[in-house]
Structure 1
């Protein structure tokens, strides 16, 4: 399949090209597309001959090129309508009736120079095909605001600008936090466009749509972004539920971090036994930490009413012991359950509520490293932790 992508280095184009190249290289699986893809990228600085040659036998066109911020308003019609008609003329000259995806805008409904130029482009694409073909081959998307990685800040995306400025400690300006934003995420856009390529476009009347849409107030988005910035201090993480807006916005925010902020320090609680360092704290999914035990050291020796934990030794060797609290029917201590663990065999040992437990580094020379997950973040006011030797 021979695919022409105009605006290939723009925000949507760059993401689409990257994923098609993943499919072409076999790095991403697709139920229909294989590795036999020929992708022709038409960029702002490409010679027009590239377009002319491609139009001879291209199988599919993604027409993503357009003008958003011209110097003169007349450039809207030149860039959004004029270039579209030039593309369509070249296809007609070669009797090429391949399907065309047109990246339009919700502003095509508005009476402003940009909207008028986008509407003219839509009409041109529709009239390129016969009435019988339009429904199948004129694939017009009126995109709302698109957000995600590689979007240019201070251009035409408030989300990109806010992500960039907050990530880089720059000021932002919010004129009206109650403005309602309708947003689609770039990965959802690319997935939908590739669906259109395989005759699985999502349709709504005369238009195609991205099915997953997010609607929030501008102030809510800003609050989330500042919350992301604070997470390095409070160790929280965003909602990572599939298709959650917060998950997508966080990925976008991270993509604007400068390289010097890719890493950040954690507070290590160090004593003669080793160290204990929290990595993540969440109200819904508990706490994740790393524990380092010095040779011969025993840690733990306590039990919990409700708190439960998972221990995974990833380096070194040790012994984890658990004993049910209290006495059996004969007045004797309950038996001790022992689990020998090491980084050579990764496994989980559960710390059971009502069982006192410990972890012992059996090495005389090496530290033991243990990943620990607890179902709740530690609260010093309600620690639910009671000393008792195993």
Structure 2
């Protein structure tokens, strides 16, 4: 069992790191945050086999607190280890601001140098990550993250301010940060090409593109059209956006189109992956009796009993596929076959449908013809 200390454990990165460490049976996690005393820090530090030093100050009331919260706290932790003869590997979460000549950057760079000195003096492994902008769940809005702030505001219809839409920001995703942090703890053969380690990957995005993506996520509840989530950044950004929804705003209603057959509702659409919709059909009712030149569909009855029928548009032979909600069976609808689905049971039939393209009223590719 390895004992791991995480300082700044209740911050954005700390919470995500602790959540991952807690899943492991070979790790015991000790957490330190601003509520803990220096005595508790000493007690935990002496017990630790590995230390993630994430605590720091970036929004103080006065500039002097930068050095107090970043350098002095780090030096105190290192002094605890040295004075107790501990040779504990330590990972410091720093910032690309350490490259800048400003009070915050100077304090982070000084903390880095203190960690490097500890490593040389004690001949122990140290790891320093200069992080760019990190995004993901649990980041505090209106603080240091443009993604967190914009996700929070856009999800609540609060205006955002974009000073330079063409400006580009470098982002890393929180799960990649956590994965990289844990990797250096688990692997004694981590090689460093410089004093600083990088997160496994990063994303460069213009502010106008970031705003457009977040706005599309907001609009998707109304239009039902999801953005293209085929690349990792868009998927991670969408997950991040949803994490900022208000707790009384997780749900939204779909439009149900009622008629004598039952009802039908669109669920989700994608310009790249088509659309999904759902229907409720009364006993004895038939839907369909049409065919498509190119459009294809999938039918899945999840409740009730039905029969799906096909006929080649130029043929006479009818093919039948009985389906029911007790034995899920997906039926592919190829082009060139007129098709229908009929409720053959005594209860309503619930059916999921997928089509490979969005419905275009100007070019519906749907032609009535009875099976």
Q: Same fold (TM over 0.5)?
A: yes
Q: How does 1:336-355 map to 2 (within 5 A)?
A: 336-355=318-337
Task: Decide whether the 8 Å contact of 2:87 with 2:122 is kept in 1.
Answer: no
Tell me, in whole angstroms, the C-alpha distance in 2 between the residues paired with 1:192 and 1:347.
42
What corresponds to 2:220 in structure 1?
Answer: 231
Alpha-carbon distance, 1:169 to partner: 1.4
Give the alignment's Cα RMSD to 1 decimal.
1.4
What corresponds to 1:388 in structure 2?
Answer: 369
SS in structure 1 opposite 2:293?
Answer: coil
- Does residue 60 (structure 1) correspond to residue 50 (structure 2)? The answer is yes
What corresponds to 2:349 in structure 1?
Answer: 368
What corresponds to 1:356 in structure 2?
Answer: 338
Alpha-carbon distance, 1:239 to partner: 2.8
Q: 1:380 to 1:201 in 2, by over 3 A?
A: farther
Q: Any gaps of 5 or more consecutive residues in structure 2?
A: none
Tell me, in whole angstroms, the C-alpha distance in 2 between the residues paired with 1:198 and 1:237.
38
SS in structure 2 opposite 1:249?
Answer: helix
Alpha-carbon distance, 1:307 to partner: 0.6
Q: How does 1:182-331 map to 2 (within 5 A)?
A: 182-199=170-187, 203-241=192-230, 244-327=232-315
- Does residue 89 (structure 1) correspond to residue 71 (structure 2)? The answer is no
Q: 1:202 to 1:322 in 2, by over 3 A?
A: farther
Tell me, in whole angstroms, the C-alpha distance in 2 between the residues paired with 1:77 and 1:202.
30
Task: Decide whether the 8 Å contact of 1:57 with 1:96 is kept in 2.
Answer: no
Task: Decide whether the 8 Å contact of 2:298 with 2:354 is kept in 1.
Answer: yes
Task: Decide whether the 8 Å contact of 1:202 with 1:210 is kept in 2.
Answer: no
Alpha-carbon distance, 1:202 to partner: 7.4
Task: Decide whether the 8 Å contact of 1:203 with 1:209 is kept in 2.
Answer: no
Alpha-carbon distance, 1:249 to partner: 1.1
Task: Decide whether the 8 Å contact of 2:297 with 2:332 is kept in 1.
Answer: yes
Task: Decide whether the 8 Å contact of 2:226 with 2:269 is kept in 1.
Answer: yes
What corresponds to 1:99 in structure 2?
Answer: 89
Alpha-carbon distance, 1:240 to partner: 2.6
Tell me, in whole angstroms, the C-alpha distance in 2 between the residues paired with 1:55 and 1:20.
17
Task: Decide whether the 8 Å contact of 1:193 with 1:201 is kept in 2.
Answer: no
Alpha-carbon distance, 1:55 to partner: 2.1
How many residues are matched? 369
Tell me, in whole angstroms, the C-alpha distance in 1 between the residues paired with 2:247 and 2:319.
47
TM-score by length of 1: 0.92
- Does residue 73 (structure 1) correspond to residue 63 (structure 2)? The answer is yes
What corresponds to 2:149 in structure 1?
Answer: 161
What corresponds to 1:20 in structure 2?
Answer: 21
Q: Which moved more, 1:249-258 or 1:47-56?
A: 47-56
TM-score by length of 2: 0.96
Alpha-carbon distance, 1:259 to partner: 2.0
Q: Any gaps of 5 or more consecutive residues in structure 1?
A: 25-34, 328-332
Alpha-carbon distance, 1:36 to partner: 2.5
